């Protein structure tokens, strides 16, 4: 299968156009090479013919000189003198040299004509190849229709849109988003650290007054996924959900049984003497905390009212009623 057939089989007119353009360029280069080779061959043949002409001319001059010496010194006839015999021998040699030089000249001229014919044939062949490539370039089969151009534009546009979507997806993946709005209390990451939200701890507890517990944590993602029993990822960011406030009261084991979920309380703050908020008992943690003064159970009160001035970790007092 030819390269042209392969280009046609690919179904892409643009591929065929590119193939034809390459063929045309190759044909032009090959024609230039053939023309240069023809010029070199002609130069060599011309030089050989010129040398042969000089050899013929030199042989004729030598023959004429010896004949003139023989005519003037030997009377133009055979003589028994050694000098005249030498001249006669030189004349015979000169005639042989003239014959050889003429034969060499004829051979050089014939070779020059043959080389010239070969050069012309090479040039003609390359010119035919060039003409064929030029004709093929102008063929309707290699023309790109507006439909094909429009199709190429649509394909390029689709690729650009896909690339843009991929970049946007990667950009979104670079943004670490908290599950809730809140206040950042700690940032443990460093510049260049890869992070993700796979390990976000979803705690129900909100910012605590009296004891800061259960902060929301964003942890860096672990490359390759986490394995069972492996070390837990350290928190990258800690934040507190400030949409609601709670107070955690330590209730003695002697009083805990008198509390009921839903009862109201009044909460005051040591750092804000003039501020008080209303609270409602949300839950009682059944896991006791043992201290030097006894056993206590955490009672969680949901606060209502203006939280202005509150900071996580403030000490608070909870009194029944309110």
Q: pTM, whole model, 2 decimals? A: 0.37
Plot region of 318 (φ>0 → left; ψ -120 to 50 → alpha; else → beta): beta
Looking at the DSSP bridge assignments, the partners of residue 300 are 248, 283
| Residues 6+ positions from 311 with CB-CB distance below 8 Å | none
pLDDT value at position 173? 65
The pLDDT tens digits for 125-179 are: 777 777 776 676 555 544 555 565 566 667 777 888 788 788 777 766 666 677 7
Report whether 20 contacts 8 (CB < 8 A).
Answer: no
Token pair 């260049």 in the structure block, residue: 192
Name the residue with higher pLDDT: 299 or 164: 299
Distance, in Å, from the CA atom of 22 to the CA atom of 16, rounded to the nearest integer, reads 10
Look at 15-19, 56-60, 99-103, 297-301 and tell me which has the smallest mean pLDDT: 15-19
pLDDT value at position 316? 87
Handedness of CA 304, 307, 313, 316 (dihedral sign): negative
Distance, in Å, from the CA atom of 281 to the CA atom of 263, rounded to the nearest integer, reads 6
Looking at the DSSP bridge assignments, the partners of residue 110 are none
pLDDT value at position 223? 35
Q: Residue 36, Cβ neighbours under 10 Å: how many? A: 10
Report whether 272 contacts 247 (CB < 8 A).
Answer: no
Q: Is the pLDDT of residue 286 over 80?
A: yes
Beta-sheet pairing, 289-291 with 294-304: antiparallel
Nearest to 257 by CA among 297, 312, 305, 310: 297
Superfamily of domain 182-220+232-320: Efflux pump adaptor protein, beta barrel domain (2.40.30.170)
CATH number for domain 3-146, candidates 1.20.1300, 1.10.10, 1.10.287, 1.10.3470: 1.10.287
Q: How far is CA 175 from the centre of its chain?
A: 26
Q: Is the pLDDT of residue 211 over 50?
A: no
pLDDT value at position 222? 36
Distance, in Å, from the CA atom of 81 to the CA atom of 127, rounded to the nearest integer, reads 69
pLDDT value at position 260? 92
Domain boundaries, the chain: 3-146, 182-220+232-320
pLDDT value at position 266? 92
Q: Residue 319, Cβ neighbours under 10 Å: how many? A: 12
The pLDDT tens digits for 37-91 are: 778 777 777 887 788 888 888 888 888 887 888 777 777 555 567 778 787 888 8
pLDDT value at position 100? 85
The pLDDT tens digits for 189-198 are: 666 666 554 4
């Amino acid at each position: 299968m030819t390269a042209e057939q392969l280009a046609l089989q690919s179904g892409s007119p643009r591929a065929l156009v590119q193939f034809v353009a390459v063929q045309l360029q190759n044909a032009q280069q090959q024609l230039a090479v053939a023309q240069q080779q023809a010029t070199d061959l002609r130069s060599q043949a011309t030089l050989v013919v010129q040398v042969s002409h000089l050899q013929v001319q030199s042989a004729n001059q030598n023959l004429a000189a010896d004949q003139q010496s023989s005519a003037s010194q030997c009377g133009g006839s055979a003589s028994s003198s050694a000098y005249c015999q030498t001249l006669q021998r030189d004349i015979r040699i000169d005639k042989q040299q003239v014959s050889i030089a003429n034969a060499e000249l004829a051979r050089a001229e014939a070779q020059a004509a043959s080389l010239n014919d070969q050069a012309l044939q090479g040039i003609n062949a390359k010119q035919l190849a060039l003409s064929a490539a030029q004709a093929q370039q102008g063929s309707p089969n290699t023309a790109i229709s507006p439909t094909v151009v429009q199709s190429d534009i649509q394909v390029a546009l689709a690729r650009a849109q896909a690339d843009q979507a991929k970049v946007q997806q990667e950009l979104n993946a670079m943004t670490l988003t908290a599950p809730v709005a809140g206040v950042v209390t700690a940032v443990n990451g460093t510049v260049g650290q890869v992070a993700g939200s796979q390990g976000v701890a979803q705690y129900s507890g909100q910012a605590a007054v009296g004891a800061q517990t259960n902060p929301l944590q964003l942890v860096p993602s672990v490359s390759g996924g986490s394995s069972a029993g492996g070390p837990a990822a350290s928190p990258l960011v800690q934040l507190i959900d400030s949409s609601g406030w709670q107070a955690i009261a330590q209730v003695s084991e002697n009083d805990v049984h008198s509390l009921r979920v839903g009862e109201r309380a009044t909460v005051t703050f040591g750092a804000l003497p003039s501020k008080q908020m209303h609270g409602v008992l949300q839950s009682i943690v059944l896991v006791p905390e043992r201290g030097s003064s006894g056993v206590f159970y955490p009672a969680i009160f949901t606060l209502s009212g203006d939280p202005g001035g509150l900071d996580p970790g403030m000490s608070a007092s909870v009194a029944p009623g309110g």
